[in-house]
Each structure stands twice: as C-alpha cells, then as structure tokens.
Amino acid sequence: MINNDILENLNSKKILVTGAAGLIGSSLIDELLELNETRNLKITIYALGRNYKKLEERFKEKVNSINIIEGDVSFVNVSNLNIDYIIHAASPSHPLAYSQSPVEVMKANLLGTINMLELAKNNNAKIVFISSGEIYGVSDKENSGFKENEYGYTDILNPRSCYPESKRAAETLCACYHAQYDVKACIARLCHVYGGNITTDNSRADAQFLRNVLNNEDIIMKSLGEQVRSFCYVKDAVKGILYILVKGKSGEAYNIANRKSIASVRNYAETLAKIGEVKVKLEVPEEIEKKGYSKISRAVLDAEKLENLGWEPKYNLEEGLKETYKIAQANNLKLQKKLRNEKIKS
C-alpha cells in the first residue's frame, strides 16, 4: 500500500521511465498505470526503450495509455519534454552482457546517466538512478546487511567489474550534479529483484530457473548455490522506488531489500522448484557463463533507511515466487497461443 502523501506528489505529474521494457522499468510503468486507473492520478507516462515493437508487445492493450519513445538512452534527445520526474532504469544487467559486451555495459551506465542528469538539470526535475547492491563489492561483513555508507572491495581490472564499477561511477555523477548544479538526484540500490515479466534474453540464474520451470524441466544450477542474497519481489521494489522518488533526500542513496527474503541461491531455486513441481539439478557451467558470474558470496542489504521513509515490503520469498510463477505462466500461455495463430495464418 502506498501512502497518501506519495500519491499526492505523483498526481498529474509527467514521469519518464528509461529501460521501459526491462523488468524494473516495465513493472514501474505497470504500477503507474494502475495508480491512474484505481486512484485517478492522471500521471503522464513516458516510456523510453530501444525497441518500439518490444514495448508495444509488453504493454499490449494499455499501450495507448503511455507515450513510447524509441531510442538509446545514451544519445536520445528528449529535450522537448517537460518532465517532473525521471526514473533511470536503463542498463544491461545480466551475466552474458558482462562477459561479452563489457564496454557497452559501461557506456550505457555512464553516458546514459549523464544524458538523463542533463535532462533533469534542464527541467528542474527529480531523478532516481537505479543502481545495484553490487556496488558494495566483496566484504567480510557476514552477520548483517550493508548500510548505505559501507563498501567492500572490487577488482577494477577484472572486466566483470564493468557493471558494479560503472554503477558506482554513475552514482558519483548523481552526487556531482547535485553538488554542482543542484540537481535533485537520488539513488536506489536494488538487491536481487525478481518477477514474472523478466525478459526472455536475460541470462541471470533466476531467469534461467524460471524458464526451466515454465518448460516443466528440472531447474539446472551451475554452482552449489551457497551464495546468500537479499531478494525482493518486483512489486515491492517498484513501490520502494516511488518512495525514494517522492521522499528521498537529494544526493543520497537508499537500499531496497526485504529483510524477510534473505536466502541462498539454492534455497531460492528449491522454493521455485517446489512451486513448479520440478527438481533441482547441478550442471557444470560453460566458460563464457563463468566469466559473467559475481564473485560476491554474501550480498545482503540493510533497508532501514528506506523503511524510515514509510516503505514496507509485502511479499516474502515464497509469496513472491508464487506470484512470479503465476504471471510468467500466464505470459507463456499467451505467447504459445500467439505462435499457434501465426502458424495457422502462414
């Protein structure tokens, strides 16, 4: 449930969401559309993504309720827009991208963030940059989660660091634009966010687990799954982003993580497997896959700072995974029906 003061500040606002086809961006737009429908907030939604058809397919019958902008966030010119809020969620965020296209990953996070910060500066708009818990790096902090002012070690000469290091630099850009130009910029550091609308090309382990279950196949794990993570269902995460958007203090970062969803990767896989009535099996990963894997054994975030703004997650891990499976299963059935109809027409 979103507090009334958050809703009042969103009413009649113009909001740009980048990375609008991704899990976070598209789920944010779903939430804004729902608020327009159920609370009559009259939010004008701009959805920025690289592929118009992909966005059109994602939002289907609701596509006429949003304004789609096709373009690369690093270079797109949207200076003609009069924007109140920007949620900058565009970023390659899966292992194969880190191993195969590390330069493009860094370009998207750095150039794209500069472009959006310039837009925020010129519009006097508030921006939330969607960052990652990976910026905390490797640490011996075992008992409790990272607070926003605690940092570990990252090997800057490992190409896999393209993601956390460019996210770190982008965060510093937000702080610099706030200090030098008084841009209202906040940072949302997400933990491992999951949901049923994760894109089909995503190579993250949880995305692969979900595809296994949807195909009625056993979940294939490519490690023992001993890594411990903070997980958060996407519906809870997007509400957290909206709290930061409205109530977050400029120049500061906020963790988004559910203290009731701290689990090992294996526990995550086993919970999903139980829901989908399949088993979990181990398999040796290919070298190209291994290059994209995180070296962090424990990635637990402390979200007390965000909770103090009034945010409270609703879903524990099992509840969130049940919702994820239900949504992904419905999406899969629609896709199969579409493919059958196309085959009949051809």
How far is residue 135's CA from residue 148's CA, in Å, rounded to a whole number?
10
pLDDT band for 343, please (50, 70, 90 cuts). low
- Look at residue 21 in the predicted model and tell me its pLDDT: 94
How far is residue 288's CA from residue 222's CA, in Å, rounded to a whole number?
12
Q: How many CB atoms lie within 10 A of CB 260?
A: 15
- Look at residue 308 in the predicted model and tell me its pLDDT: 97
H runs (alpha helix) in 124-233 = 162-181, 205-214
User: What's the rounded mean pLDDT across residues 227-243?
Assistant: 96
pLDDT band for 289, please (50, 70, 90 cuts). low
- Look at residue 222 in the predicted model and tell me its pLDDT: 78
Q: How far is CA 317 from the centre of its chain?
A: 17
How far is residue 335's CA from residue 158's CA, in Å, rounded to a whole number?
39
Beta bridge partners of 187: 129, 253
SS3 at position 19: coil
With a CB cutoff of 8 Å and minimum separation 6, the contacts of 57 are none
- Please check the confidence at residue 332 and state whether its pLDDT lies above 90: no
User: Sign of dihedral through CA atoms 321, 200, 35, 118?
Assistant: positive
How far is residue 22's CA from residue 20's CA, in Å, rounded to a whole number?
6
178 touches 260 (CB < 8 A): no
Concerning whether 233 is annotated as a catalytic residue, the answer is no
State the pairing for strand pair 228-233/298-299. parallel
- Look at residue 259 in the predicted model and tell me its pLDDT: 93
User: What's the rounded mean pLDDT across residues 284-295?
Assistant: 61
63 touches 29 (CB < 8 A): no
Highest mean pLDDT among 44-58, 187-201, 280-294: 44-58
Selected residue with higher pLDDT from 342 and 37: 37
- Look at residue 143 in the predicted model and tell me its pLDDT: 54
255 touches 302 (CB < 8 A): yes
- Please check the confidence at residue 141 and state whether its pLDDT lies above 70: no
User: Sign of dihedral through CA atoms 17, 102, 252, 146?
Assistant: positive
* DSSP H or E run through 25: helix 23-39
Tell me the pLDDT of the chain averaged across its residues. Answer: 91
Selected residue with higher pLDDT from 144 and 317: 317
pLDDT band for 92, please (50, 70, 90 cuts). confident
Catalytic residue, chosen from 46, 85, 98, 163, is 163
- Look at residue 226 in the predicted model and tell me its pLDDT: 85
Structure pTM? Answer: 0.93
- pLDDT cut 90: percent of the chain above it: 75
How far is residue 232's CA from residue 99's CA, in Å, rounded to a whole number?
25
Cα–Cα distances (Å) from 100 to 94, 97, 192, in that order, read 11, 5, 21
What are the tens digits of pLDDT across the range 124-140?
999 999 999 999 988 76
CATH topology (fold) of 4-197+232-259+299-314: Rossmann fold (3.40.50)
- Look at residue 339 in the predicted model and tell me its pLDDT: 64
pLDDT band for 309, please (50, 70, 90 cuts). very high
DSSP states of 89-132 as a string?
A: -----SHHHHHH-HHHHHHHHHHHHHHHHHHHHHHT-EEEEEEE
- Look at residue 295 in the predicted model and tell me its pLDDT: 62
pLDDT band for 267, please (50, 70, 90 cuts). very high
- Please check the confidence at residue 296 and state whether its pLDDT lies above 80: no
User: What's the rounded mean pLDDT across residues 185-210?
Assistant: 89
pLDDT band for 294, please (50, 70, 90 cuts). low
What are the tens digits of pLDDT across the range 8-57?
999 999 999 999 999 999 999 999 999 999 999 999 999 999 999 999 99
Domain ranges of the chain: 4-197+232-259+299-314
User: What's the rounded mean pLDDT across residues 188-196?
Assistant: 95
- Look at residue 152 in the predicted model and tell me its pLDDT: 87
User: What's the rounded mean pLDDT across residues 193-202?
Assistant: 85
46 touches 65 (CB < 8 A): no
How far is residue 200's CA from residue 260's CA, in Å, rounded to a whole number?
28
